[in-house]
């Protein structure tokens, strides 16, 4: 590209018809906005630079190039109409900027697959909820700190390859039916008393 326009586009640009005009979107035909201008209607294309998807009753800036009409921009829209951003004809959109900020009262993300990659990630909030059929957490070091921690499961299984240490002010183990402990060596050390209560006590 030498910075000059192709001849066919240059001729369309220099044509007297290639003058922007104001129109109103009155409907859609095959996903193309139908605009009303000069007491007539026609379907138009959306220019690649028009990131805001047209909606009915939008006041738009349009242009005719040859036999085609293009919507260049949305000039005015009823306040109660939602806005959707997209790039016509593009399969993907990339936002590249050193700093991107999103500020809103409610943020919704709806996707079949979501991937987040970050060197450092932080999530802060008063309430954080995660609902999933399966939740996997893989880390070299996992730390949890809380004033109160509650866990409920129908079945729980835990495997520790090395040593496991539990320190608590009071430690209580309670089972409805049976409590089993197996080890090569079992040591019970108490500073004061060791008590074993039961209807039957069997040793050996």
> pLDDT tens, 63-120?
999 889 999 999 999 878 789 999 998 999 999 999 999 999 999 999 999 999 999 9
Instruction: With cut-offs at 50, 70 and 90, classify the pLDDT of residue 203.
Output: confident
- Pairing verdict, β 21-29 and 59-65: antiparallel
Q: Residue 72 sits in a domain of what CATH number?
A: 2.40.50.140
Please say whether the beta carbons of 39 and 23 come within 8 A: no
- This prediction has a pTM of 0.62
Tell me whether residue 94 is in a domain.
no
Cα–Cα distance list, 102 to 95, 105, 127, 133 (Å): 12, 10, 19, 29
Tell me whether residue 54 is in a domain.
yes
Tell me whether residue 37 is in a domain.
yes
Alpha carbons 181 and 41: distance in angstroms, whole number:
83
Give the pLDDT confidence score for residue 3 in this predicted structure. 47
Phi, psi at residue 28, to the nearest 5°? -140, 150
> pLDDT tens, 4-34?
445 544 444 444 467 899 999 999 999 999 9
Give the pLDDT confidence score for residue 9 in this predicted structure. 45
Give the pLDDT confidence score for residue 1 in this predicted structure. 44
Tell me whether residue 143 is in a domain.
no
- Count of domains forming the chain: 1
Tell me whether residue 63 is in a domain.
yes
Tell me whether residue 173 is in a domain.
no
Cα–Cα distance list, 86 to 42, 52, 91, 115, 202 (Å): 22, 6, 10, 20, 75
Instruction: With cut-offs at 50, 70 and 90, classify the pLDDT of residue 193.
Output: very high
| pLDDT, the chain, mean | 88
Mean pLDDT within 118-123: 92
Mean pLDDT within 31-50: 94
Alpha carbons 45 and 70: distance in angstroms, whole number:
5
Phi, psi at residue 22, to the nearest 5°? -95, 135
Q: Which residue range forms the structural domain that includes residue 40?
A: 7-76
Q: Tell me which H or E stretch contains 37.
A: strand 32-37
The number of residues in the chain equals 204
The alpha carbon dihedral of 66, 67, 72, 75 has a sign of: positive
Tokens 């079945």 map to which residue? 155
Alpha carbons 185 and 18: distance in angstroms, whole number:
91
Alpha carbons 17 and 34: distance in angstroms, whole number:
19
Tell me whether residue 122 is in a domain.
no
> pLDDT tens, 127-171?
989 999 999 999 999 999 999 999 999 999 999 999 999 999 999
Tell me whether residue 44 is in a domain.
yes
Structure tokens at 197: 């209560």
Cα–Cα distance list, 184 to 57, 81, 116, 181, 187 (Å): 80, 72, 46, 10, 10
């Amino acid at each position: 590209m030498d910075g000059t326009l192709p001849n066919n586009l240059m001729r369309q640009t220099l044509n007297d018809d290639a003058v922007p005009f104001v129109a109103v979107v009155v409907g859609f035909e095959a996903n193309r906005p139908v605009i009303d201008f000069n007491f007539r209607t026609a379907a138009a294309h959306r220019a690649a630079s028009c990131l805001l998807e047209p909606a009915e009753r939008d006041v738009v800036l349009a242009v005719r190039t040859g036999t085609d009409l293009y919507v260049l921009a949305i000039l005015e829209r009823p306040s109660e109409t939602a806005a959707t951003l997209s790039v016509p004809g593009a399969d993907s959109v990339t936002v590249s900027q050193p700093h991107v900020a999103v500020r809103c009262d409610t943020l919704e993300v709806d996707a079949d697959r979501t991937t987040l990659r970050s060197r450092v990630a932080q999530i802060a909030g008063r309430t954080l909820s995660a609902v999933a059929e399966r939740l996997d957490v893989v880390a070299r070091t996992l730390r949890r700190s809380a004033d109160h921690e509650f866990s409920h499961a129908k079945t729980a299984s835990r495997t520790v390859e090395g040593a496991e240490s539990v320190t608590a002010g009071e430690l209580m183990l309670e089972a409805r039916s049976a409590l089993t402990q197996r080890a090569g060596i079992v040591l019970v050390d108490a500073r004061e008393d060791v008590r074993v209560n039961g209807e039957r006590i069997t040793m050996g």
